Amino acid sequence: MSDTTTFTLEVLRYNPESDDVPHAESFSVPYQEDWVVLDALNWVKDNVDGSLTFRWSCHMAVCGSCGMMVNNEPVLSCKAFLRDYLKDGKGTITVGALKNFPVEKDLVIVMDSFMEKLEAVKPWIIRTTEKPVEEGTFIQLPKQLKRFKHHTSCINCLLCYAACPQVGLNPGFIGPAALALAHRYNLDSRDQGKDLRKDVTASEYGVWECTFVSACSEVCPKDVEPAGAIQEQKIESSIDWALDHLIPGRKAR
């Protein structure tokens, strides 16, 4: 299982108390076939430098903490296997903090902006009247569930924000994951809040900031299909706009 091969991690480090810009530091780790990049980082933290800083928790690709740039691609480090980066029995990778976010320290990004965007799209069921618990659950047919189910799988890992040039160019852009989440609620047969969410999703920071690079869907580890969710909302928004102009008084509704 383990052999004598060593593996090199070029980690982009940043210590706010002593650095002005990030710098690369190289660590050699013993290669293990079963190891993911996160295991290698933990080995460094335990055995070489306890100050190496990164987020992680579940180690099973579901908590969304451990997103990083590995060889300049955004990945979940707990699901990126060292063996996949091995060439001719040797391996070197670069590891850096997710792009398009401020860096707090080493591999830890500041994600306040994302939390605000998430909240801005009102990601909860909105109803004109609440259904009492005594009435039991809503009826939702499998096909109604299927319609939005993939958009519910987002783990907020932010790989899509790191991949999206529009996020980099316009930091205010609500961005892929949050817009996909808005769409998820809009499509839910139990929800009635679409019109309220439109104030944000169809605003200048909403879907129209997207130029359909579709890198978000390419890097998404959970097949959330944020690019699709945004394009669908663009189409809806256009139809809305047209109808607003064709039918007098519609917009006021």
Q: Determine if 207 is a binding residue for ligand SF4 (CB under 6 A).
A: no
Alpha-carbon distance values, 2 to 32, 83, 189, 195, 251 (Å): 5, 12, 51, 57, 66
Segment near ligand FES (CB under 6 A); pick from 42-50, 64-72, 110-118, 132-140:
64-72
Per-residue contact track with ligand SF4, 147 to 186, x per CB under 6 A?
-------xxxxxxx---------------xx--x------
Q: C-alpha angle 164/169/175, rounded to 5°?
A: 45
Crossing angle between the packed helical segments 226-246 and 176-187, to the nearest 10 degrees: 60
**Any alpha helices (H) in the chain, and if so which ranges?**
37-47, 112-120, 142-149, 159-163, 165-169, 176-187, 194-201, 215-219, 226-246
Rule CB under 6 A: which of 65-124 touch ligand FES? 65-66, 76, 78
Instruction: Note whether 190 binds another protein by CB under 8 A.
Output: yes
Q: Which is nearer to ligand SF4, 44 or 159 (CB)?
A: 159
6: its two tokens: 């060593």
Shortest distance, position 65 Cβ to another protein, whole Å: 5
Contact call for residue 216 and another protein (CB under 8 A):
no
The minimum distance between CB 76 and ligand FES, in angstroms, equals 5
Which of ligand FES, ligand SF4, another protein, none does 76 bind, CB closer than 5 to 8 A by kind?
ligand FES
Angstrom distance (rounded) from CA 160 to CA 239? 27
> Which x/- pattern over 194-233 shows residues binding ligand FES (rule: CB under 6 A)?
----------------------------------------
Site for another protein in 39-68 (CB under 8 A): 45-47, 49-51, 53-65
CB atoms < 10 A from the CB of 9, how many?
23
DSSP string, 14-44: --TTT-SS-EEEEEEEEEETT-BHHHHHHHH
- Looking at 55-63, 163-171, 194-202, 209-217, which segment touches ligand FES (CB under 6 A)? 55-63
Q: Please report the sign of the dihedral spanned by the C-alpha atoms of residue 49, residue 50, residue 54, residue 55.
A: positive
Residue with smaller CB distance to ligand SF4, 96 or 176: 176
Contacts with ligand SF4 by CB under 6 A lie at 154-160, 176-177, 180, 219-222, 224, 226
